[in-house]
Amino acid sequence: EGTGWLYRLVSRIRKGQGTSEDIDKLQGVADRIEGRTICALGDAAAWPVQSFLKHYRHEFEAKTLARIA
């Protein structure tokens, strides 16, 4: 279920329909998935999201601000 949330949030942001709250949700979902699943897919899905938000969060924020402008 968490990977579905990640997919929907990233898709919404990518399409220019995301909000700054979506970025926070994305971070929260990824943080809650990591280390809490039986299947390694959870960690494998969370790590890239955590990494791109750590290094490129400003680009995601710019994408959401462009929607407002």
Between helices 2-14 and 20-33, what is the axis angle to 10°?
150
pTM of the full structure: 0.83
| Arithmetic mean of pLDDT, 17-33 | 94
Q: Is the pLDDT of residue 24 over 60?
A: yes
What is the band of 67 on the pLDDT scale with cuts at 50, 70, 90?
low
Q: Please give the helix or strand (H or E) that residue 39 lies within, else none.
A: none
Q: Residues near 46 by Cβ (< 8 Å), separated by ≥ 6?
A: 2, 6, 30, 31, 33, 34
Domains and CATH numbers, the chain: 2-68 (1.20.1440.230)
Between helices 20-33 and 40-68, what is the axis angle to 10°?
170
Q: What is the pLDDT of residue 33?
A: 92
| Arithmetic mean of pLDDT, 11-35 | 93
